Structure 1
Amino acid sequence: MTVSRALRNDPSVNKNTRMRIHSTARHMGYVYDTTAQAFRTQKSGFVAVTLPSVNNANFAETFRALSYELEQDGVQLLLGSTHYRVEKEEQLVRQLLARKPEALVLTGGHHTGATRDMIAAAGIPIVEMWDLPADPLGHVVGFSNADAMRLIVEHLANSSRQKIAFVGASLGADMRGAERRDGVIQAARALGLPEVGFIDAGPAPISMRHGFSAFENCGRTIAQYDALVCVSDPVAFGCLSAALRMGLRIPDDLAITGFGHFEVAQVSNPRITTVDVQADQIGHDVAALLRDIFEGRIDRPLRRDVGCTLIQGETTQMPPRQMVKPLAG
């Protein structure tokens, strides 16, 4: 019993005794089995998290912030990647719930019916992040993709850009990307701009090379547009690189915008105009929310909008010839 209590860092065991027991355990290569403790306390000591991709720097930033904060409380994260597919998320949720996490954090607000049913029966705290779903499963920490795109389109319109194309993944997989495209279309219509074009960069997830290839495939037909709104900064960087290789002057011939305030947008030449959605703040806020839940300070679903900010770079700078009144709100 003394060894068991010492390995649980029970303060009732003398400090020197605990140190000797831990030292012996390390020497033996012994790993404490927490299964019985979890069964007794009904606490597994971990939170399950799903991300669309582990290669996306923004999602990685959110995960790092969330992981760092929860580790201070002795809580570990169990991560699963959905590859932008709700069917894969359903499979992961089933596997993760079988391991009895203390909470489940999902990226986005789009889920299959089976996923929603499993979560409703799980009886654990649920947090949806990176979105503001209309029908949330529980708590929400995110931002509005429509608001982010409105900032971009208003900025382009005030720079006298009229003919806009959205560069994103093929329709059907990247739900957040689809919301951004819809946001561009809605904002353009509200400002009386021509119909927004669409440049398909391939199946999600898409990256720099997909943006580069999509732009190259357009060839000289890209001249029908005077602005590109890209689904992410890496895609925007790919388009920018292809445009410069073709000899286009950015932003004189073509304005290019991204999304996410990635590092590549800050160091590219010219710097890319983008939207900061505070990826790290989302992680910190989710961790703070979970801490309050675990400590019994929250007893109802909360909705936290972290907001978004336009970051004007050099890919859209151009003397305005016609000012457009911003949308209300």
Structure 2
Amino acid sequence: MATNKAAPAQQDDPAPGGGRMVDVARMAGVSRVTVSRAISHPHQVSPATLAAVRDAIAKLGYVPNLNAGSLASRRSRIVGAIVPTLSNAWFAETMDGLGEVLEDGGYQLLLGQTRYRQAQEESLIDAFIGRQVDAVVLTGVSHAGTVRAKLRRCGMPVVETWDLTDDPIDMVAGFSNRAAGAAVAAHLLARGHRHLGFIGAEEDRALKRLAGYRETIAAQGLPDVAVCTVTPPSSIADGARGLVELVRQNPRLQAVYCSNDTLGVGALQACREQGWAVPGRMAVVGFSDLAIAAASVPALSSVKVQSHEMGRRAGQMLLARLGAPDSARDSAREREARIVDLGFSVVARESS
């Protein structure tokens, strides 16, 4: 009796864009199996063969039918990633690094933006699970309890980024925001500043930087930090307004830590407009060390984090998990690799 079977990966039916795999194979001078491998697992094919297959695909306008392959392998070869916003360069750099690694591994990247709304993150998670993505990359480690439970229950690989935790949903690649805030406080205190302020976006990671900053300053018995929070995504104008507000709160203010470089550049702008010498009257430190920090006048001190490498590492962790047999997933080596601390460094420039 005949039985229905899942279609083989990359079968030779006409593709959505027209043409057939057999035509690509004939033009490239390879087998259909090699064409299928070049499409699904490009890293397993020699550069010369891959170039020939891609050239044939381009000339024929061939678009592979990925549905057949996903039915056979039960993989979509899509990774879903969620960021607060792509309007900020630091998140874009992370997604760029992630995309590079996934592309080399034969996976596509599907992006979603929360616009800093936790409810939107849960909605995107539901959409990704419904579309059967193979893995998920999240920004931060603070999520609704339902999100954590849902992702753990479905069992797909997950990497959280842009923070650290001892209890990740699955894996985490990032740095300690709290420790970064403490390091900035130590930097400013070492330069003799005693009246300090903070301008930051009202979101979890920035508030952790504030907590570390505050704790270090309080430990020295100094006055509490003057704080101005802004609604994310933050702008240069927010930084300028924020610094003026802090000086209104504390006219003796000597230094300000901004939770990102955009706010830091705004604080420098306010100093120019108010005639405050930097760093003589006011020291300024930013966060993330974008190119604009070094190009500012005066050059902006900042906290350097490995935004691009963070994305690359997240991609590598996912590919390692996706390529591992089920029996290897609980090995001691893999457990050790679940938490990756990429660290940070304070880059001191003219502004502090």
Task: Flag whether TM exceeds 0.5 (same fold).
Answer: yes
Which string of whole-angstrom CA distances, capped at 9 and with x for unpartnered residues, describes residues 270-293 of structure 1? 011111111111012112212211
Deviation, 1:169, is 2.4
Distance 1:8 1:106 in 2: 40
One-letter identity of the residue aligned with 1:204: P
1:273 aligns with 301
Q: Which residue does 1:321 correspond to in 2?
A: none
Change (3 A) 1:8 1:184: farther
2:208 corresponds in structure 1 to 179
Tell me the alpha carbon deviations over residues 180-204 of structure 1, each in whole angstroms, 9 at most, x when there is no partner: 111111111223322111113x311
One of 92, 104, 127 as aligned partner of 2:124: 92
Could you tell me which runs of 5 or more consecutive residues in structure 1 were left unpaired when the two chains were aligned: 317-329
Indicate the residue corresponding to 1:213 in structure 2: 241
Q: Which residue of 2 aligns with 1:50?
A: 82
The number of aligned residues is 309
Q: What is the CA RMSD across the aligned residues, in angstroms?
A: 2.6
Pairwise CA distance, 1:294: 2.0
Is residue 103 of structure 2 the alignment partner of residue 71 of structure 1?
yes
Q: In the alignment, which residue of structure 1 is the partner of 2:340?
A: 304
Q: Distance in 2 between matches of 1:104 and 1:238?
A: 34
Give the partner amino acid of 2:345. Answer: T
Distance 1:8 1:164, change over 3 A: farther
Q: Secondary structure at the match of 2:251?
A: helix
Q: How has the CA–CA distance of structure 1 residues 218 and 8 changed in structure 2, closer, same or farther, with 3 Å as cutoff? A: farther
Matched, 1:148 2:180: yes
Percent of aligned pairs with the same residue?
30
Moved more, 116-125 or 230-239: 116-125
Amino acid at match of 1:239: A
Mean alpha-carbon deviation: is it higher for 142-151 or for 217-226?
217-226
Asked if residue 109 in structure 1 is aligned to residue 141 in structure 2, the reply is yes
Q: Deviation per CA, 1:110-155, whole angstroms, max 9, x where unpaired?
A: 1112211211221111111111124310101010011111211111
Specify every segment of 5 or more residues in structure 2 that has no aligned partner in the other structure, as ranges: 1-10, 15-19, 36-48
Please give the TM-score of this superposition, normalised by the length of structure 1. Answer: 0.86
Determine the C-alpha separation between the residues in 2 that align with 1:280 and 1:121. Answer: 30
The correspondence for 2:313, drawn from 285, 301, 305, is 285
2:218 paired with 1:189: yes
Which letter does structure 2 place at the counterpart of 1:169?
Answer: A
What does residue 248 of structure 1 align with? 276
Match of 2:346, as an amino acid? L
- Residues 35-85 of structure 1 show CA distances to partners (whole Å, capped at 9, x for unaligned) of 232122111011110011101111111111110111111111000011112
- The aligned counterpart of 1:320 is none
Q: Would you say the 8 A contact 1:7–1:32 is kept in 2? A: no
User: In the alignment, what sits opposite 1:131?
Assistant: 163
Q: Work out the CA distance in 1 between the residues paired with 2:54 and 2:312.
A: 33
Shift of the 51–7 alpha-carbon distance from structure 1 to 2, 3 Å rule, reads farther
Amino acid at match of 1:223: P
Q: Name the CA distance, whole Å, in 1 between partners of 2:54 and 2:176.
A: 51
Stretch moving more, 121-130 or 9-18: 9-18
Paired amino acid for 1:148: A
**Structure 1 range deviating more: 187-196 or 231-240:** 187-196
**Cα distance, 1:219 vs. partner?**
6.0
Offset at 1:7? Answer: 7.1
CA shift for structure 1 position 218: 5.0
In structure 2, the CA distance between the partners of 1:67 and 1:248, relative to structure 1 (3 Å rule), is same
CA distance in 2 between counterparts of 1:40 and 1:305 reads 37
TM-score w.r.t. length of structure 2: 0.81
Helix, strand or coil: the match of 1:251?
A: coil
- What's the offset of the Cα at 1:222? 5.3
